[in-house]
Amino acid sequence: MQSPTRFLITGGAGFIGSHLAEALLEQGHVVAVVDDLSTGRLENIAHLLPHERFHFARASITDAIVMDRLASQSDVIVHLAAAVGVKLIVEHPVHTIETNIMGTEAVLKSALRYGCRTLIASTSEVYGKGSKVPFAEEDDVLLGPTSRSRWAYAASKMVDEFLGLAYQREFGLPVVIMRFFNTVGPRQTGRYGMVIPRFVRQALRGEPITVYGDGEQSRCFCDVSDVVQAIIGLAFHPDAPGRVYNIGSTEETTINALAQRVRALAESQSPIVHIPYEQAYAEGFEDMQRRVPDITRIHTLLGWSPKLGLDDILRRVIAYERERLHA
Ligand code: UDP
């Protein structure tokens, strides 16, 4: 049997982190989570707390003493802690930039001291206003103007990518950059704008389903269970470090089509309404029209591609939200 690997997940009480922790424990690994619970929720990991191979530290990743202690007991760090969500970002750009840049710097410093392989979460947002889809890792990155604070998130994650790869180049730390494309699934919060949990809750409550803009913008949604398998693959593959990887689905859907699908699968009578962007977001927002990943690189390395399609994903989220609604 493979000997257990000691993982540290920053932001492990969040949506992706809590699913990752579960999967790693199931595979027999040791998992520590550090989370300040600013957006993560204790209830996401409450069921893991009694596990003998699980450890939780409520702390900020910028606390160097805590991070050093945790890193000293880890082989791999998966750095997911970040300020995320378009709504949060356009409303709190200072918090976003500081958390994402200072946090990643702190994680990399501790990782270097203890030689931990480090996987850093980045985002498809870094493809910004690029219009040539699908987006490949070596494509140029084109953000919008600094007067639009939406791009503060992408810019902060760009710095994280450069910083991480610089740690590998200059100091030999093994670093993997993961560009996530619209990851969805149970436990994702709708608080900061994420469209699927919002549409599902609206449909289940019989409230209007709120499509922003003309609804012809598209996204590719990937189930968190598939994303977790990609992360684990990258954590162990000897050739993964030193590069960026797109992680996402290539099944493209418009937001209009998504609204229809949610309504049908939830057997809802909710009306579908269109809301102008100016009413939906704080000043500083601007939308991405299309967002499709090229996943050749990760597929070539790991043979990975998503297993679940949009309908499977929606059924899972509907079941989860239905249970919460009746709890
Ligand atoms: N969106 C929408 N209604 C909502 C929330 C989001 O139409 O209630 C749209 C949003 O404007 C965007 C898409 O759905 O075009 C995906 O938004 P989300 O915030 O989930 O992710 P991102 O924009 O980061 O891809």
279-317: pLDDT as tens digits? 877 776 778 899 999 999 999 999 999 999 999 999 999
pLDDT tens per residue across span 61-94? 999 999 999 999 999 999 999 987 777 777 888 8
| Residue 218 lies inside a defined structural domain of this protein | no
| Residue 259 lies inside a defined structural domain of this protein | no
CA–CA separation, 147 and 157 (whole Å) = 18
| Residue pair 12/40 in contact by the 8 Å Cβ criterion | yes
| Residue 200 lies inside a defined structural domain of this protein | no
Beta bridge partners of 244: 177
Query: Active-site residue numbers?
Result: 153
18: domain CATH number is: 3.40.50.720
Write down the mean pLDDT value for the chain.
Answer: 94
* Cβ count near 129 (within 10 Å): 15
| Residue 150 lies inside a defined structural domain of this protein | yes
**ipTM score assigned to the predicted complex:** 0.98
Q: Whose CA is closest to atom 5 on ligand 1?
A: 195
CA distances, 121 to each of 16, 27, 76, 154, 175 (Å): 10, 22, 14, 12, 11
| Residue 322 lies inside a defined structural domain of this protein | no
| Residue 95 lies inside a defined structural domain of this protein | yes
Boundaries of domain holding 106:
6-183+223-248+292-307
Q: If you measure from the C-alpha of residue 145 to the centroid of ligand 1, how many angstroms do you get, rounded to a whole number?
A: 20
What share of the chain has pLDDT > 70, as a percent?
A: 99
Ligand 1 atom at minimum distance from 202 CA? 8
| Residue 209 lies inside a defined structural domain of this protein | no
CA-angle at 19, arms to 16 and 21, nearest 5°: 105
Ligand 1 atom at minimum distance from 291 CA? 25
Q: Looking at the 3D structure of the chain, how many domains does it have?
A: 1
Those residues whose C-beta lies under 8 Å from the C-beta of residue 16, and which sit 6 or more positions away, are: 80, 121, 180, 183, 224, 227, 228, 231
CA–CA separation, 157 and 81 (whole Å) = 12
Report the pocket of ligand 1 as residue ranges, CB < 6 Å.
Answer: 86, 182, 193-195, 198, 210-212, 217, 219, 255, 287
Q: For a pocket test of ligand 1, which of 255, 258, 273 has the largest count of ligand atoms closer than 8 A to its C-beta?
A: 255
| pTM of the shown model | 0.95
| Residue pair 35/58 in contact by the 8 Å Cβ criterion | yes
Q: If you measure from the C-alpha of residue 211 to the centroid of ligand 1, how many angstroms do you get, rounded to a whole number?
A: 8
| Residue 327 lies inside a defined structural domain of this protein | no
